[in-house]
Amino acid sequence: MASQMFSGYDEFVEHLASAVFLPSAAPTSSHAGFTHMCRLLATFDWRSEPLIVDFDGKISDAEKLRMRQSFEARAEEGEHRSTGVSFWITSRFDPHARLLPTPLGVAATWLQQRAVFALDVCHRHLLGLSSGWKDLFAVDMSFFDMVIKCGRRDGVKEDAALEATSQIVVRKLRTHLNPVCLVFCNAQNHTIALKWRPHAFLPQPTSVLVGAVPHLLLSRDEASQMCVPDILYLTSAVASLTEGLATEVTIVSA
């Protein structure tokens, strides 16, 4: 997950592994385990079904029905859009899928696409058509709009402390910039990447969401006041929120 810029979702991966292997035997190899999990990500009907993980085999049919009803109720409330994927994973300890952090929206769709790609790479490798596993873990960083390298400017490496601090920065970026961008992270090499939300940069009426980030007013008439996020101020805000942890900030060219 870290190689795909999805650090911080360890429990999500553990739930996927449990869903795949608890009903049956453990995988015979790491490759088998990986491909089974990718197949679950790629083929499960996330839009129409909740993934129920029965850790101890104690979930009754009545409990499964209530979990299904909870899923359907939230779908009716609009939490699941037909245009995107949502990972709704529930268990006896989290029957309403409120506690488990999962990738959302565009990030979830992209992760599912990466799972499909991973299965294709594994298939070609088994047929002898692939030269190695590098393509499986490599990510095209041109997908992102801004890439931030974190580190200590004094050159002293304290990986555990740096990883913890990087996660704090990621949470701050997500809290402050969620209306205008998605935040991805690779905790292993201390890289943070931002992907702007295109619809957030369309002219729109002032609102709480837009007002939470720096923006430009397109009209001074209060009756028809429109605004757009100010990309220059946003870039400065990103640098400020890293609190000096960023050693390199790259604006990815289109």
pLDDT of 106 above 90: no
Residue 155 shares a structural domain with residue 182: yes
User: Tell me: the pLDDT tens digits for 22-61?
Assistant: 877 777 888 888 899 999 999 999 988 999 999 888 899 9
d(CA 226, CA 203): 6
* The predicted structure's pLDDT at residue 201: 82
Between 230 and 219, the more confident residue is 230
Residue 92 shares a structural domain with residue 181: no
Residue 35 shares a structural domain with residue 86: yes
Q: Which of 19-23, 211-215, 240-244 has the lowest mean pLDDT?
A: 211-215
pLDDT of 157 above 60: no
Which residue among 103, 137, 171 closes a domain?
A: 137
Average pLDDT, the chain: 82
Query: Number of folded domains in the chain?
Result: 2
Report the CATH number that the domain containing residue 199 is assigned in CATH.
3.30.70.3030
Between 173 and 154, the more confident residue is 173
Q: Which long-range contacts (CB under 8 A, 24 or more apart) does 44-48 make?
A: 46/85, 46/86, 46/87, 46/88, 46/108, 46/112, 47/80, 47/82, 47/85, 47/86
Percent of the chain clearing pLDDT 90 (strictly above): 24
> How many Cα neighbours within 13 Å face the side chain of 60?
3
Which residue among 116, 137, 158 closes a domain?
A: 137
* The predicted structure's pLDDT at residue 62: 94
Average pLDDT over residues 206-231: 69
Q: Whose CA is closest to 87, among 112, 64, 63, 113?
A: 112
Domain assignment of residue 89, given as a range: 2-137
Residue 107 shares a structural domain with residue 171: no
pLDDT of 254 above 60: no
Residue 178 shares a structural domain with residue 239: yes
Q: Are 208 and 110 in contact (CB under 8 A)?
A: no
* The predicted structure's pLDDT at residue 82: 47
Q: Is 175 exposed, middle or buried (0-12, 13-18, 19+ CB in 10 A)?
A: exposed
* The predicted structure's pLDDT at residue 52: 94
pLDDT of 168 above 70: yes
* The predicted structure's pLDDT at residue 239: 80
Enter the tokens of residue 165: 């601090």
Amino acid, res. 145: D
Residue 130 shares a structural domain with residue 149: no
What residues are paired with 149 via a beta bridge? 191, 248
Given pLDDT bands bounded at 50, 70 and 90, which one contains residue 219?
low
What residues are paired with 226 via a beta bridge? 205
Residue 75 shares a structural domain with residue 164: no
Residue 102 shares a structural domain with residue 156: no
Which residue among 137, 170, 200 closes a domain?
A: 137
Residue 123 shares a structural domain with residue 168: no
User: Tell me: the pLDDT tens digits for 71-80?
Assistant: 988 877 765 4
Residue 171 shares a structural domain with residue 46: no
What residues are paired with 217 via a beta bridge? 227
Between 207 and 146, the more confident residue is 146
Between 155 and 97, the more confident residue is 97
Percent of the chain clearing pLDDT 70 (strictly above): 87
Average pLDDT over residues 95-115: 88
Residue 130 shares a structural domain with residue 13: yes
